């Protein structure tokens, strides 16, 4: 085990090298709390306990600290990998401050929604264990948020080639995997709850509330809630999502979609939605054209075009015959025509 420690340390330094102070601070906090967990019960005071979050105790600081608490080495590796990926892929686009805000919003939402879900479960079952024995902690909620953000920015990228899996399908596939592991009792319910609520809260934040140079939120069609589901389910999910969105607009929790029409465009009327990036739209258009060209090329290769040699031979055989009819045939034809057509003298004028 000791001989692998220098290699692991070298990989960690290489992954964190060049990142901002936010990524390094979050990674250092995860490592520090994991080291303290061998001597102290860090999950008790820093993880979200549903019974302690609400009145009368109100341990509100746990909403921000539970995402840093890990009690297993695998969880530490997953958290560090998630933070490093966010620093490499999201921080150059957003900036260090926005990445920190995203980390805080997702973790706070996961803690609040998870505690509310366990409180409702307690109200339905009256099992006190749901209030005081449950510990919501770990980096699965932030992992879901990073995957949703990558779906937004690079959803058409291919993650696996065999079988072909694109980035936009990864969040839901991982959710199904965690659900299967939970049914097999291989993971605890807080892990599945953290990932599920992280997926939902990160999408809501990126869809409606994130501020950037182009406005607020991302109302593009490729980032709609229905796109997280298979195509056969997207119409039904889209209808339900539109109803929920209309309800949230009425209670003023969400804003109505604003469309801007550029009637002064030289070619045609263009519609722009808040949050849509022209560079992302151009990138998706190029990818769509590339996929279309590849599909057309495969169709042309598979299609067997008929040979023109047979038609040329038929033309040659037909042309070998006489071009002018024989004399007897011509005479018969002229006689036949003369027997049918007669000419009469025109009557004289009075």
β-pair partners for 271? 261
| Domains in the chain: boundaries | 10-223
| Contacts of residue 88, Cβ cutoff 8 Å, sequence gap at least 6 | 19
Beta carbons of 207 and 154 less than 8 angstroms apart: no
CA–CA gap between residue 312 and residue 338 (Å, rounded): 39
Beta carbons of 20 and 92 less than 8 angstroms apart: no
| CATH code, 10-223 | 1.20.1540.10
CA–CA gap between residue 208 and residue 253 (Å, rounded): 10
pTM for the structure as a whole: 0.73
pLDDT tens digits, residue range 271-286?
545 555 555 556 666 6
SS3 call for 63: helix
pLDDT above 70 as % of the chain: 72
What's the average model confidence in pLDDT over 182-196?
95
What's the average model confidence in pLDDT over 80-102?
94
CA–CA gap between residue 300 and residue 309 (Å, rounded): 20
Q: Concatenated DSSP letters for 194-235?
A: HHHHHHHHHHHIIIII-EETTEES---GGGSGGGGS-TTTHH
Predicted confidence (pLDDT) at residue 313 exceeds the cutoff of 80:
no
Predicted confidence (pLDDT) at residue 332 exceeds the cutoff of 50:
no
pLDDT tens digits, residue range 109-143?
999 999 999 999 999 999 999 999 999 999 999 99
């Amino acid at each position: 085990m000791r001989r692998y420690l220098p290699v692991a340390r070298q990989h960690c330094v290489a992954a964190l090298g060049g990142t901002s102070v936010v990524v390094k601070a979050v990674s250092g906090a995860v490592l520090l709390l994991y080291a303290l967990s061998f001597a102290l019960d860090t999950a008790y005071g820093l993880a979200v306990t549903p019974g302690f979050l609400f009145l009368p105790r109100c341990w509100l600081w746990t909403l921000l600290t539970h995402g840093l608490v890990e009690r297993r080495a695998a969880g530490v590796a997953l958290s560090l990998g998630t933070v490093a990926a966010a620093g490499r892929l999201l921080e150059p686009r957003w900036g260090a401050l926005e990445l920190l805000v995203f980390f805080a919003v997702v973790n706070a939402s996961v803690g609040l929604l998870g505690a509310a879900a366990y409180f409702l479960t307690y109200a339905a079952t009256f099992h006190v264990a749901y209030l005081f024995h449950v510990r919501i902690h770990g980096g699965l909620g932030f992992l879901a948020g990073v995957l949703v953000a990558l779906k937004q920015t690079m959803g058409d990228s291919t993650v696996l080639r065999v079988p072909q899996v694109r980035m936009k399908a990864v969040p839901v596939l991982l959710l199904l995997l965690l659900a299967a592991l939970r049914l097999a009792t291989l993971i605890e319910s807080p892990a599945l709850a953290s990932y599920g609520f992280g997926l939902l809260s990160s999408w809501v934040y990126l869809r409606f509330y994130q501020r950037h140079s182009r406005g607020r939120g991302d109302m593009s069609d490729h980032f709609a809630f229905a796109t997280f589901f298979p195509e056969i389910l997207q119409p039904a999910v889209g209808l339900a999502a539109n109803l929920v969105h209309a309800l949230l607009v009425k209670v003023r929790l969400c804003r109505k979609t604003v469309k801007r029409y550029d009637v002064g465009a030289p070619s045609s009327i263009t519609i722009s939605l808040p949050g849509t990036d022209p560079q992302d739209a151009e990138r998706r258009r190029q990818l769509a054209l590339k996929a279309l060209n590849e599909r057309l090329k495969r169709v042309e290769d598979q299609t067997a075009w008929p040979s023109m040699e047979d038609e040329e031979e038929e033309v040659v055989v037909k042309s070998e015959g006489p071009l002018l009819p024989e004399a007897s045939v011509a005479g018969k034809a002229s006689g036949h025509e003369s027997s049918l057509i007669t000419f009469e003298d025109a009557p004289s004028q009075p």
